[in-house]
Amino acid sequence: MLEKVSFRDTLFEAGLLVASGVDGIYGRSGDFEAVVDGIDGLISRDGAMPGAEVVRFPPAMPRSVIETSGYLKGFPHLAGTVHCFCGDDQAHKKLLQCLDDKEDWTGQQKSVDLALTPAACYPVYPMIASRGPVKMDGHIIDVSSYCFRHEPSLEPTRMQMFRMREFVCIATPEITKAFRDRWVERGHAIVSALGLPVAVDLANDPFFGRGGKIMADSQRDQALKFELLVPVNSAETPTACLSFNYHIDHFSSIWDLKMQDGRLAHTACVGFGFERLALALFRHHGLNRAGWPAHVRAALWPN
Amino acid sequence: MLEKVSFRDTLFEAGLLVASGVDGIYGRSGDFEAVVDGIDGLISRDGAMPGAEVVRFPPAMPRSVIETSGYLKGFPHLAGTVHCFCGDDQAHKKLLQCLDDKEDWTGQQKSVDLALTPAACYPVYPMIASRGPVKMDGHIIDVSSYCFRHEPSLEPTRMQMFRMREFVCIATPEITKAFRDRWVERGHAIVSALGLPVAVDLANDPFFGRGGKIMADSQRDQALKFELLVPVNSAETPTACLSFNYHIDHFSSIWDLKMQDGRLAHTACVGFGFERLALALFRHHGLNRAGWPAHVRAALWPN
């Protein structure tokens, strides 16, 4: 625990992260962002997927997407919805009175039709489904967004708002499974080239509650999720910086994503956590990026 | 009205924006993002502010910042707060039952300590205030973030989630006022160089309700806000793509932002709306950026 707090404090003192008063919500310095941009460029070069469709989504999406996708079954505790004030002058007066009296004014707000994006790929499935059947050699989407998970933490690697880039594959079972397996290797190579100690391990999502245990076990039994781990906060509990997920037909059955032959598509994704990768680099190569090994700097900033 | 709908449809058809089902929430294509990146680079080059501190904030900030800053007095209707589920297995069961019954399940959530960032500069003032007095020649912050305003619209220029970059000046009244005035000229030059028809006009913020009229009139009387306007949706109602704001001591008195001589600082900011500038470029130069005038392409993508 002490060590975790102290890495965060080190980052605050170095000015790389800026405290906001809420754990997991931080400002990022120009140097931190240069590292994130470097990682983004490296993924584009060394992870290039010819023919991939590039889409960037905002940090919020229709609430119906989080409802339909099954997210609230597995991760109700991590989801965030948006609430807004929809009243008149009279209601506004009441809101301001609550604020003055240090009472909860958010009761004056209503839930609107938006939820915060929990992972970059969630808006992809309804987007592709709306276009009709997927061509038989599949479709790759290159997607990225700010994501939200309600899990305040003292570990700097566990932010409430963070950026994720993903490649999503929507294709036949064979192509989709091969995509996921190929990315385990590619991800390993890309992160190793950054001079980071890397391990890949079977993993499960942090499903909620008593029922969650069963879902996690089933996910492990089927070897659906792998993570690329780098020690950041501690050697004992390394941090998942990439994840490789084979969803079988979870999303395609929900969104009725079909292939041109009429069968359900399968889906898979690889996700890169920008902040976690940046923090791993600062942890292993030092707080001053100018002093990082030449091959790491060349990989991040080739020009 | 018809024309507004049709520009948005044109963008959807060209694949530059991707509909989500909620007005004002869109995916952006790779081409759209290349334009946004180009604008960002142009601002960094032609708008460079030597000595500016670069900080990037996530799309949410502590709820206390929106409460303390006075935002809810002027713009309660635009603000968004984040609500999350904090219950146990039993409560989760109830949530899922509501979802199954198509009832409102968000009543199972509570307001947490986060609000969506309404403008890029809001987290800046408490950050600077926490450091103590500002040096007499002032401090410039280069800030950028995704922002939220609850104003669903058919005009593609009025998004609910959009990106804004700002330069914020915290200094003596003389320096602050000069910063704002200088930026009116610089902003005009930068946007004109993009081959866009530009006008600068006195403006006011969209303050809420009956009391809002008085606040807007006062803001205009004191000439505190100017906007750089470009026709995008229509010639009659041009779109504010940049704004130049002199806050006098509004934020500094709230956050107790003092200069080294003990007097309250003044603050000002210039804000660039990335999506609005990109849409202005697509409107005036065509939907295919490869066909834009050479000088515009050179300004956006010099390499």
Kindly list the residues from chain B whose CB atom is less than 8 angstroms away from the CB atom of residue A123: 20, 27
pLDDT score of A247 more than 50: yes
What ipTM was estimated for this complex? 0.96
pLDDT score of B284 more than 70: yes
pLDDT score of B194 more than 90: yes
Best to test chain A binding among B22, B78, B111 (most A CBs inside 10 Å)? B22
Kindly list the residues from chain A whose CB atom is less than 8 angstroms away from the CB atom of residue B28: 55-57
Q: Per-domain residue ranges for chain A?
A: 2-80+118-300, 83-115
pLDDT score of A157 more than 50: yes
Name the average pLDDT for chain B: 96
B56 touches chain A (CB under 8 A): yes
pLDDT score of A165 more than 60: yes
What average pLDDT does the segment B144-161 reach? 97
Counted across chains A and B, CB pairs separated by less than 8 A come out at: 193
Q: What is the pLDDT at residue B81?
A: 98
Best to test chain B binding among A72, A101, A102, A145 (most B CBs inside 10 Å)? A72
B293 touches chain A (CB under 8 A): no
pLDDT tens for B237-276 read 999 999 999 999 999 999 999 999 999 999 999 999 999 9
What residue of A is the nearest CA neighbor of B55? Answer: A29
Kindly list the residues from chain B whose CB atom is less than 8 angstroms away from the CB atom of residue A255: none
Kindly list the residues from chain A whose CB atom is less than 8 angstroms away from the CB atom of residue B104: 111
pLDDT tens for A235-244 read 899 999 999 9
- Confidence band of B10 (pLDDT split at 50, 70, 90): very high
B113 touches chain A (CB under 8 A): yes
CATH code linked to domain A2-80+118-300: 3.30.930.10
What average pLDDT does the segment B37-61 reach? 97
Asked whether the beta carbons of residue B22 and residue A114 sit closer than 8 angstroms, the reply is: yes
SS3 letters across A126-154: HHHHCCCCECCCCEEEEEEEEEECCCCCC
Asked whether the beta carbons of residue A83 and residue B86 sit closer than 8 angstroms, the reply is: no
pLDDT score of A2 more than 60: no
What average pLDDT does the segment A6-29 reach? 97
Kindly list the residues from chain B whose CB atom is less than 8 angstroms away from the CB atom of residue A22: 61-62, 113-114
Vertex B270, ends B168 and B174: CA angle to 5°?
65
Closest CA to B268 of B241, B254, B250, B255: B250
Asked whether the beta carbons of residue B109 and residue A56 sit closer than 8 angstroms, the reply is: no
Asked whether the beta carbons of residue B106 and residue A113 sit closer than 8 angstroms, the reply is: no
What residue of B is the nearest CA neighbor of A59? Answer: B59
Asked whether the beta carbons of residue A84 and residue B79 sit closer than 8 angstroms, the reply is: yes
* Contact between residue A284 and residue A197 where contact means Cβ atoms under 8 Å apart: yes
Kindly list the residues from chain B whose CB atom is less than 8 angstroms away from the CB atom of residue A104: 111
Q: What is the pLDDT at residue B300?
A: 98
Query: What letter represents residue A271's amino acid?
Result: G
* Contact between residue A143 and residue A57 where contact means Cβ atoms under 8 Å apart: yes
- Confidence band of B5 (pLDDT split at 50, 70, 90): low
What residue of B is the nearest CA neighbor of A37? Answer: B37
Strand (E) or helix (H) holding A81: strand A81-85
B48 touches chain A (CB under 8 A): no
Asked whether the beta carbons of residue A54 and residue B33 sit closer than 8 angstroms, the reply is: yes
pLDDT score of A105 more than 90: yes
Closest CA to B276 of B220, B230, B213: B230
Q: A215: distance to nearest CA of chain B, Å?
A: 15
B44 touches chain A (CB under 8 A): no
Q: What is the pLDDT at residue A3?
A: 54
Best to test chain B binding among A31, A32, A55 (most B CBs inside 10 Å)? A55
Q: What is the pLDDT at residue B1?
A: 45
Q: What is the pLDDT at residue B27?
A: 98
Name the average pLDDT for chain A: 96
pLDDT score of B287 more than 90: yes
Q: What is the DSSP string of chain B?
A: -HHHHHHHHHHHHTTSEEE-SSTT-EEEEHHHHHHHHHHHHHHHHHT--TTPEEEE--SEEEHHHHHHTTHHHH-TTT-EEEEEE---HHHHHHHHHHHHTT--GGGGEEEEEEEE-SSTTTTHHHHHHTT-SBPTT-EEEEEEEEEE-----SSTTS-SEEEEEEEEEEE-HHHHHHHHHHHHHHHHHHHHTTT---EEEE------HHHHHHHHHHHHHTT-EEEEEE-SS-SSS-EEEEEEEEEETHHHHHHT-BBTTSSBPEEEEEEEEHHHHHHHHHHHH-S-GGGS-HHHHHHH---
pLDDT tens for A203-219 read 999 999 998 999 999 99
Q: Which of A58, A65, A72 sits opposite B146 (nearest CB)?
A: A58
A104 touches chain B (CB under 8 A): yes
Q: What is the pLDDT at residue B170?
A: 98
Best to test chain B binding among A11, A12, A16, A22 (most B CBs inside 10 Å)? A22
Architecture of domain B2-65+118-300: 2-Layer Sandwich (3.30)
Question: Could you tell me the CA-to-CA distances from A10 to A155, A229, A278, B112 in Å, in that order?
Answer: 12, 22, 14, 27
Q: Which of B81, B88, B99 sits opposite A109 (nearest CB)?
A: B81
Asked whether the beta carbons of residue B55 and residue A27 sit closer than 8 angstroms, the reply is: yes
Tell me which residues of chain B, numbers 177 to 236, contact chain A at a CB-CB cutoff of 8 Å: 208-211
Q: Which of A65, A88, A106 sits opposite B111 (nearest CB)?
A: A106
Q: What is the pLDDT at residue B2?
A: 47
Q: B187: distance to nearest CA of chain A, Å?
A: 23
Asked whether the beta carbons of residue A27 and residue B83 sit closer than 8 angstroms, the reply is: no
Kindly list the residues from chain B whose CB atom is less than 8 angstroms away from the CB atom of residue A65: 20
pLDDT score of B3 more than 70: no
